[in-house]
Amino acid sequence: MGKLYMRILIIGAGRLGSILAKNLSERGHEIIVVDKNEERVKKLTEEVDVAGYVRDATDPTLYDELSLPSIDVIVAATDRDEVNLFTAIISREYGVPRIIAKVRDPRIASILQRIGLTEYVVVEPNIISSIIEAVIEGKYSVVELLPIYVGGFRLVTITIAEGSDAEGHLLDDVKYPREGVKILTVFDGKKFHDPGEVIRLEAGHQIIAIVRDDLIEEFLEAFR
């Protein structure tokens, strides 16, 4: 079965939106980016093969022009929570199957969770602070996301400590639960590695994964 390519709409051409657009475009997905900052859109479209629109994301007519029902995934990644909330609401109205939003205010995340608008909400300060705490303390951190994947999942980061049973082993050799766990990347301090790469785990390496709630302790124990 071939790789599934998607039509993805990214609202916001700031740092996050631009990185997403670049990476997803390079993987062959069709990317559309919307931002009301003309300079941002111009810079991105000159560097990356994406379609750019200089528009206000709170203008409802925009979504008719973009033929929103044909979008597979929408990512609301602006720096304004209210814009991301509006985008999620209108995307649901148009029947977009997958909606992902970034927010700063946990109260907005709670609203999105309560009314079931999105597949996934990234609460930006929570993620950043949790990862920094993991680096400082040299141990795992569980990052709270609201809402989470259906079934109860969390984004987990764990730093390999010196003397860990996992140190010196390949990722595939570590006996962590395969069902209910999705390792996203391994960070060696300089580079993010795809989990499929052949890489020996060393002290200081960070593993970032989506883990089902009931498997978190078992997953963490495998890397201690």
Q: What is the largest CA-CA distance in the chain?
A: 58
The pLDDT assigned to 149 comes to 41
Tokens of 180: 């209910």
Would you say residue 1 lies in a domain? no
Whether 46 and 105 share a structural domain: yes
* pLDDT surpassing 60 at residue 141: no
CA gyration radius, the chain: 19
User: Residue 158's closest CA among 174, 172, 137, 144?
Assistant: 137
* Number of separate domains in the chain: 2
Lookup result for tokens 């309560």: 114
Whether 143 and 215 share a structural domain: yes
Q: Residue 139 and residue 80: Cα distance in Å, rounded?
A: 32
Whether 108 and 140 share a structural domain: no
**Which CATH number is 174's domain given?**
3.30.70.1450
| DSSP assignment string, 39-107 | HHHHHHHHHSS-EEEE--TT-THHHHHTTGGG-SEEEE--S-HHHHHHHHHHHHHTT-SEEEEEES-HH
Q: Residue 146 and residue 148: Cα distance in Å, rounded?
A: 5
Q: Residue 193 and residue 8: Cα distance in Å, rounded?
A: 24
Whether 12 and 109 share a structural domain: yes
Summarize the confidence of residues 79-106 as an average pLDDT: 89
pLDDT-based confidence at residue 126 (cuts at 50, 70, 90): low
Tokens of 150: 């259906």
The residue that leads in pLDDT, 124 or 54, is 54
Whether 218 and 192 share a structural domain: yes
Highest mean pLDDT pick, 41-45, 76-80, 180-184: 41-45
Q: Which of 99, 118, 137 is the last residue of a domain?
A: 118
Q: 31, 25 in Cβ contact below 8 A?
A: yes
User: Residue 142's closest CA among 133, 160, 155?
Assistant: 155
Would you say residue 100 lies in a domain? yes
Whether 103 and 137 share a structural domain: no
Q: Residue 199 and residue 207: Cα distance in Å, rounded?
A: 12
Q: Residue 104 and residue 178: Cα distance in Å, rounded?
A: 32
Q: What is the extent of the structural domain holding 152?
A: 127-222
Phi and psi for 202 in degrees, rounded to 5?
-125, 160
User: Residue 180's closest CA among 208, 150, 215, 148?
Assistant: 215
Would you say residue 148 lies in a domain? yes
Highest mean pLDDT pick, 35-49, 91-105, 125-139: 35-49
Would you say residue 140 lies in a domain? yes
Q: pLDDT, tens digit, for every residue of 155-192? A: 788 888 888 889 999 998 999 998 888 888 888 877 88
* pLDDT surpassing 80 at residue 95: yes
Would you say residue 2 lies in a domain? no
Q: Residue 222 and residue 37: Cα distance in Å, rounded?
A: 46
Lookup result for tokens 């990722």: 171
- The SS3 assignment for 163 reads coil
**Which CATH number is 103's domain given?**
3.40.50.720
Summarize the confidence of residues 57-77 as an average pLDDT: 93
The pLDDT assigned to 46 comes to 95
Whether 153 and 170 share a structural domain: yes
Q: Residue 174 and residue 160: Cα distance in Å, rounded?
A: 12
* pLDDT surpassing 50 at residue 143: yes
